Each structure stands twice: as structure tokens, then as C-alpha cells.
Structure 1
């Protein structure tokens, strides 16, 4: 199993925690649901995934230069 660590602002974590509670899920399950596409309308998650992809591309590009 792959592990993903996220750093969230306290306000965003609270929103995620509330969503998990409202959906009767753990916070981990709510994150997986959102990352898996279960909540396609979440602009925050879409932006987070785009940022993670950009960071990964930049890391790969810098490794190729070195």
C-alpha cells in the first residue's frame, strides 16, 4: 500500500473532518473517496492533485538535469 502524507491548513482539515462525519466515514476513507473521484466537484481536491502532479513533474525534470 502506498502512503500519502498531506499538510492541510486547520480550516481545511476541519471541513474534511466534517465531510467525513456527514458521510459516516473516517477521515482516511473520506480522503480516499475524494482522491478516487467520488467527489468530482471538489475544487480543492482537484487543485491539490494538480499541484501534486506539478511537483512530481518538476522533481522528475530536475533529476534528469542532474
Structure 2
């Protein structure tokens, strides 16, 4: 299993975690909900979602090849 390390603003990440828990979602799902819900577009959230997607695609590709 490969690991992905991100440097994120701790306060913002905690807010995302809290909102995700309150909505029974993962952090990625909470980010997507915010992006799709028409809430203020955040470059940080867009970058975080892109990193999460890339990590998931890489994980799937490594599972398929071996």
C-alpha cells in the first residue's frame, strides 16, 4: 500500500473532519459536497480532492497490476 503525504492547514483540516463527521461522510466526500453544493470555491479544497483522487487511482492501478 502506498502512502500519500499532504501538507495542509491544521485548522482547516480539522474543520473539514468535523463537518464530515457531522454529515456521516469521509473528508473527500465532504470536500466534494462543498464543491458541488455551490459553496465558495476553494483552491485548497480543489487541490485536496485532486490529490485524494490521484491517490485512489494509483491504489487501484497497483491492485490491478499485481
Q: CA deviation at 1:13?
A: 2.7
Task: Using CA pairs under 8 Å that are at least 6 residues apart, name the structure with larger relative contact order, 1 or 2.
Answer: 2
Provide TM-score, normalisation by structure 2. Answer: 0.51
Q: Which residue of 2 aligns with 1:55?
A: 55
Q: Do the aligned partners of 1:34 and 1:45 also contact (CA within 8 Å) in 2? A: yes
Q: Which residue of 1 aligns with 2:3?
A: none
Q: CA deviation at 1:35?
A: 3.3
Provide TM-score, normalisation by structure 1. Answer: 0.51
Distance 1:46 1:65, change over 3 A: same
Count of aligned positions: 49
Q: Do the aligned partners of 2:31 and 2:45 also contact (CA within 8 Å) in 1? A: yes
Distance 1:40 1:33, change over 3 A: farther
Q: CA deviation at 1:59?
A: 0.3
Q: Structure 2: 5+ residue runs without aligned partners?
A: 1-5
Larger Rg: 1
